[in-house]
Amino acid sequence: MNIKQRLAAIEKIDLLQGPTPLTKLNNLSEYLGRDIYIKRDDMTPLAMGGNKLRKLEYLIADVVQKKAKVVVTAGAIQSNHVRQTAAIASMYGLECVALLENPLQSSNPLFLNNGNKQLTDLFNTRCYLCDELTDPYAQMQALVKSLNLQDAYIVPIGGSNALGSLGYVNCALEIAEQKPKDIEFAAVIVASGSAGTHAGLAMGLQSVLPQTPVIGVTVSRTVAQQQPKIEALQQELGELLNMAVFPKVNLWDQYFLPCYGKPNNKGQQAIELLAQKEGILLDPVYTAKAMSGLIDHILKESIDGNQPLLFIHTGGAPAIFAYSEINVATIK
């Protein structure tokens, strides 16, 4: 049984309604002197798009199968995952409860109420604030108990358990079908946070494009902190899909500082560059930092070979409207 057959045997709900685009960034490629392609998972068809929809295809199928009435999840105030989970809960007539942290300890009304948070509220989510998500699953369990929620289903941060990560095993198969037949990608670059997108892509591409490494650009942790999360998810995916060989974990951790959720200068420059060269919006928390890593390594000529690179756009543009730190400068 091949990987496609194994995936087909696991229940999911079709929320994507077809593949997302994979296209060449012609202007950026010319500007940087290396061919760059982009996978547009910011264009998934719900709640202003994003990568979590692929994970939620499997997770919501499990929610429905278990006849849950309440979906409980967690994230930062500007969480893309919470926004998309809340939207799908609305679609399926489920109550959504979210436990939110303020990673910046910001009191800025723009950050607290705009962007993803505004959309999450629009989906009628019951939001509860905590000082910090130190043990999210245990904290969500405690919230379920304190609210006396019946028939509740806990969705992990980022949808990043083995079940949710299957969405990006599927994405890897999509990439193999969509890529131009006459090229091989030198690497696939993606933001690496809750780790499910990274782990799923790496496992899927190992099966269908084994010469193509996945490089995760960390958005909140050092390599030493992030690598075990990805390896653990790969092990769980291996058990689920009957795979015994695991890809090497590749990470860049130079681009997330000063901390998770706070924009930095290189990320802002990446936002401006993509907007002004391609008309594509990145977000300051995930994709801007990942793209800044890609740009930096191209300029340093530190990615082996001269084959094209593929950037996974995981979405998140609504967060732009919550950050007053985003400045605009003209790219020369």
Judge if 179 and 280 occupy the same domain. yes
Give a yes or no: residue 230 inside a domain.
yes
Please identify, among 136, 159, 182, the residue that sits at the C-terminal boundary of a domain: 159
Residues 172 and 113 in one domain: no
Tell me, yes or no, whether 168 lies in a domain: yes
CATH at residue 87:
3.40.50.1100
CA distance 242 to 246: 11
Last residue of a domain, one of 159, 182, 205: 159
Q: Do residues 318 and 174 share a domain? A: yes
**pLDDT for position 305:** 83
Q: 188 - beta bridge partners?
A: 214, 310
Judge contact between 215 and 291, C-beta under 8 A: no
Residue 117 has pLDDT above 50, yes or no: yes
255 and 217 in contact (C-beta within 8 Å)?
A: yes
Residue 79 among the catalytic residues? yes
- 125-153 residue pLDDT tens: 999 999 999 999 999 999 999 999 999 99
pLDDT bin (cut points 50, 70, 90) of residue 330 is very low
Checking if the pLDDT of 97 tops 70, the result is yes
Same domain assignment for residues 223 and 104: no
Residue 182 forms part of a structural domain: yes
| Statement to judge: residues 188 and 77 lie in one domain | no
Q: Same structural domain for residues 208 and 78? A: no
The pLDDT tens digits for 304-315 are 889 999 999 999
- In a domain, residue 328? The reply is no
61 and 43, same domain (yes or no): no
Catalytic residue among 29, 79, 192, 292: 79
Tell me, yes or no, whether 331 lies in a domain: no
Q: 154 is in which domain, residue-wise?
A: 52-159
Do 295 and 219 sit in the same domain of this protein?
yes
Are 223 and 171 found together in one domain?
yes
Give pLDDT, residue 304.
83
Does residue 126 sit in helix, strand or coil?
strand
Instruction: Quickly state the pLDDT bin for 327 (edges 50, 70, 90).
Output: low
**Residue 329 domain flag:** no
| Domain total of the chain | 2
Ramachandran bin of 314, using left for φ above 0, alpha for ψ from -120 to 50, beta for the remaining angles: alpha
Q: Are 70 and 97 in contact (CB under 8 A)?
A: yes
- Shared domain for 231 and 294, answered yes or no, is yes
* Distance between CA atoms of residues 298 and 327, nearest Å: 24
Domain boundary (134, 159, 184) is at 159
At which residue do the structure tokens 């798009």 appear?
A: 49
pLDDT of 14 reads: 96
Is 58 found in the same domain as 43? no
One domain for residues 175 and 153: no
298 within some domain: yes
